[in-house]
Amino acid sequence: MNDFWGIDYGRQYAKNTVICQKDDQQYHFEAIPKNIHTDSYILEKARQEKPGYIFIDAPLSLPAVYSKPEIPTKDYFYRICDKELGAMSPMFLGGLTARAIKLKNVLESIGIQTLETYPGQLAQHFKLKDEGYKKNKKSIQPCIEIITQKLEGTVYPDEVISWHHFDALLCCLSAERYFRGEGKIHGDEKEGVIVF
């Protein structure tokens, strides 16, 4: 059984969702194939493999104004965590946000804790923009060299074939930082938090 997965979450059927998981001391990647229903694939794999946690790059809640009137906010677009980190509004992401919240609810109903993370913020934390983060595919290698020093396992660079793979790896690094007590948590627990 794998303790956690990192998922760079993308559009349905689009081949831009990548799952990263650690087996013993090595990270493995699985891009969900094109024309496959992404959410069904994740759920089926999760039911079979039963990770304890999934760290996913997608909003897992809406601004409090929609469901938590006890939180003093009138912001219809951004949660506290989005404002703290300069993240995109869950409302702007629309359908992806709705899918992610539904996926989280189903995963948690089968005992898999699902946490929101933000690979872009972790990339900023480690100054990966200086190495060309998301500029072109050639920049993946120097970014991997920096990140592998922070990970608790082995990454074979030839398996990290896209920025989606790299962001899934950053989601796993967020998980490791969280479990080591090094992770940062932004937002309000009642509304939704981002862990990185």
Closest CA to 168 of 105, 110, 122: 122
pLDDT at position 130 is 96
CATH class, domain 4-195, is alpha beta
Q: Report d(CA 187, CA 117) in Å as an integer.
A: 12
Domain boundaries, the chain: 4-195
pLDDT at position 67 is 84
Which residues does the chain have with pLDDT short of 50? Answer: 1
Partners of residue 56 on adjacent β-strands? 7, 116
pLDDT at position 1 is 39
